[in-house]
Amino acid sequence: MLYSEKVMDHFQHPRNLGKMEDADGIGEVGNAKCGDIMKMYIKVENDIITDVSFNTFGCGSAIASSSMATEMIKGKPVEEALELTNKAVAEALDGLPAHKMHCSVLAEEAVRAAVQDYYDKKGMANEP
């Protein structure tokens, strides 16, 4: 199975790795079938995601997808983070093998869950 250089780079040198103690939003998602668990933390100021980090228990594709997703939403408005798609994550990684696409789906879901948690804590409705 061949992984792109970007997948390997983000797997071997994950960006924004680690727990965030004072996160404004935390999203945890998992895929029982493959055993991957992804936890995403976001820090928000003036509706901008100023910091983001993650902890992922899973395969290289799951770690790479988490890492890339954090890079893609950092510095972006919260609403824009909600628009992140698994396809965009996979494309940013120069592709994932078909049987690993669920990893980028998890990254999308983790971002959405973290934003939803942020909205819930602020007592805000999630605007579609």
Reported as a single tens digit per residue, the pLDDT across 99-124 is 999 999 999 999 999 999 999 999 98
DSSP secondary structure code for residue 38 in this structure: E
For the entire predicted model, the pTM comes to 0.93
- Tokens linked to 123: 């007592």
Band (128; pLDDT cuts 50, 70, 90): very low
pLDDT higher than 70, residue 15:
yes
Check if 59 is active-site: no
* Tokens standing for residue 81: 């983070």
Among 91, 101, 92, smallest CA distance to 61 is for 101
Instruction: Exactly one of 26, 34, 37, 48 is catalytic; name it.
Output: 34
Distance CA 50, CA 78 (A): 10
Listed residue (87, 105, 93) closest to 31, CA to CA: 105
Task: Classify the C-alpha dihedral 95-98-99-103 as positive or negative.
Answer: positive
The catalytic residue among 103, 106, 107, 113 is 103
Q: CA–CA separation, 91 vs 78, rounded Å?
A: 21
- Taking only the tens place, the pLDDT of each residue in 16-45 is 999 999 999 999 999 777 789 999 999 999
Confidence of residue 126 (pLDDT cuts 50, 70, 90): low
Helix (H) / strand (E) containing 80: helix 78-82
User: Where in 14-126 does DSSP place strands (E)?
Assistant: 25-31, 36-45, 48-57
